[in-house]
Amino acid sequence: MSTPGSAASASAPDFDARRFKAMERAGFNRIAARYAEGAHLRADLAAALLDAAALEPGQRVLDLASGPGLLAREAAQRVVPGGSVLATDIAEGMLAEGARRCGNQADAPCFAAADAERLCIADARMDRVLAGLALFIFPHPEQALAEMHRVLAPGGRVVLSVWGPRETVPLIHRAQDCIARLLPPPKVARPSVFRYGEPATLHATLAAAGFDDIDIRPCAFSCHFADADAYWQAFLDLAGGAAEALGRLPEATQRALQAAVVDDLAAHCCDDGRGGYLLPARTLIASARRPGN
């Protein structure tokens, strides 16, 4: 997850896509169990994405950047009987966590490690492709979208979610603000997680990838945290590569960041009697069709 000052394009000359992917993989492997445990914070978003996908029995579904299979598990229940769900991710630890949580369920998705930019899936095999909070993570999103288009059957749909504009997602940017205040800028620019936050930008990106019948809708939710420590931990549990980078800092620096985030949360004190903090987040959910029958 990028920090302020790192909103440069992934195509910038100093951007190392291979190193970026390695850091993301290590980070998401590091947080696999806690990422799954924090699913309740994003439950409304997950439900809205799955509803937008309009899944039906018998459909073949690919869930990209599936992590521990949070979307995939629910999708698998919606396509029975006769359907199938393949959950893929670059972080094998995430997939192992998802498989562990599914146990021996008969309608569990299949899990397979895969790079969304280079899928080992035959052309036109899927009826739906899901990508929850993932497009902005890919170093070459246009390549990932080309793969989504390729594996979809004509008339099939991609359904994805992205963070909205930075100022509408305090859930993420308050931690980023704290990091920017206390740490020097990163040596290598990282793509911003907010780069598809404007509907026009997301629409143009999907259209350029060959999709039509594009529908983009906002989805807002809020997360309550008992205290600043709980917020900071939740950020780390979602942050992937950023969590890996922060985890490599000296313990004193990590503690200083955790303590300092209180200042950034001052505007979000919860006044409904629960105490703590209430952090809003605005997202976009997009559905788009591969042209054809």
Q: Is residue 270 a part of any domain in this protein?
A: no
Q: Is residue 195 a part of any domain in this protein?
A: yes
Query: Could you read off the pLDDT of 115-165 as tens digits, one per residue?
Result: 999 999 999 999 999 999 999 999 999 999 999 999 999 999 999 999 999
Q: Is residue 267 a part of any domain in this protein?
A: no
Quick one: average pLDDT of 187-216? 93
Q: How confident is the model at residue 105 (pLDDT cuts 50, 70, 90)?
A: confident
- Whether 14 has a pLDDT exceeding 90, the answer reads no
Q: Is residue 262 a part of any domain in this protein?
A: no
Q: Is residue 2 a part of any domain in this protein?
A: no
Quick one: average pLDDT of 179-207? 91
Q: How confident is the model at residue 6 (pLDDT cuts 50, 70, 90)?
A: very low
Quick one: average pLDDT of 62-76? 96
Q: Is residue 251 a part of any domain in this protein?
A: no
Instruction: State residue 224's pLDDT score.
Output: 97
Q: How confident is the model at residue 244 (pLDDT cuts 50, 70, 90)?
A: confident
Which CATH number is 136's domain given? 3.40.50.150
> Count of domains in the chain?
1
Q: Is residue 255 a part of any domain in this protein?
A: no
Q: Is residue 236 a part of any domain in this protein?
A: no
- Whether 5 has a pLDDT exceeding 90, the answer reads no
Instruction: State residue 7's pLDDT score.
Output: 36
Q: For CA atoms 98, 126, 239, 227, give the dihedral sign.
A: negative
Structure tokens at 89: 């991710």
Structure tokens at 166: 């930075």
Instruction: State residue 69's pLDDT score.
Output: 94
Instruction: State residue 161's pLDDT score.
Output: 98
Query: Could you read off the pLDDT of 245-266 as tens digits, one per residue?
Result: 888 999 999 999 999 999 999 9
In 10 A of CB 79, how many CB atoms?
A: 22
Mean pLDDT computed over every residue of the chain: 92
* pTM (two decimals): 0.92
Instruction: State residue 13's pLDDT score.
Output: 55
The DSSP 8-state label assigned to residue 174 in this structure reads: H
Residue 250, Cβ density class (10 Å: 0-12 exposed, 13-18 middle, ≥19 buried): exposed
Range of the domain at 30: 17-165+187-222+278-289
By C-alpha distance, which of 274, 158, 177, 160 is closest to 222?
A: 274
Query: Could you read off the pLDDT of 21-55 as tens digits, one per residue?
Result: 998 999 899 899 999 999 899 999 999 999 999 99
By C-alpha distance, which of 189, 185, 65, 59 is closest to 128?
A: 59
